[in-house]
Amino acid sequence: MNTARTDAISIAAGNRRLGWKLALGALLMCGFGYLLVPLYRVYCEYTGFNGTTARIDPGQAAAQGIDRTRWVTVEFAANTSADLPWAFRPEVNSLRVHPGEMVVAQFEARNLGSRAIVGQAVPSVTPGRAASHFRKIECFCFSRQPLAPGQMLKLPVQFQVDNNLPPEIGTLTLSYTFFELPGIRAAGPDPRDARL
């Protein structure tokens, strides 16, 4: 009978150890899942994977020489998520640029909805190999964009195509998709402005 009790205690202790190991494993998986998004973002920025573009300051961009012997066509695409009631488009569909040249392109966004909405643009460049050679100096995608109902906004992006863009790439596409930032309230008009 003593052996049966010892076996039961041994099984209970083993079950407790197994429970702690499983809990630790679940905790590690949750931690890995939490860190996966920032790690993936860093990986994409470093490699240009998934169309992630690089950011460059104006001084570095100006220091890069312009290759006037070569032209690259930059096409623009503008999209919104299905639940965002905005009209969003580029002012021109494409530009021809020299590598190393600093260029400004304009986009336009209009809130077609009946409420103020805060949006965030997510950029992508195709082909993927070109993404690390497309450098944004200033971009509306660096910050949130609040729009009141009916409001229209001009959204500039200043960019540069790197001189090291592989010569077989003559055309690249800069695409933006706007998403609503749920839970972020757009600052509406101040009701005190209606005092007049």
CA separation for the pair 107, 183 (Å, rounded): 25
User: Which spans in the chain are helix H?
Assistant: 2-47, 58-63, 128-131
CATH of domain 51-180: 2.60.370.10
134-139 sheet: strands from edge to edge: 54-55, 134-139, 152-161, 102-111, 86-90
Q: What is the pLDDT along the chain (196 residues), one digit of tens a residue?
A: 577 777 778 888 888 888 898 888 888 887 777 665 566 555 555 555 544 566 666 666 666 788 999 999 999 999 999 999 999 999 999 999 999 999 999 999 999 999 999 999 999 999 988 988 999 999 999 999 999 999 999 999 999 999 999 999 999 999 999 999 887 766 544 443 333 3
Residue 12 φ/ψ, nearest 5 degrees: -60, -40
Entry pTM: 0.68
What pLDDT does residue 160 have? Answer: 94
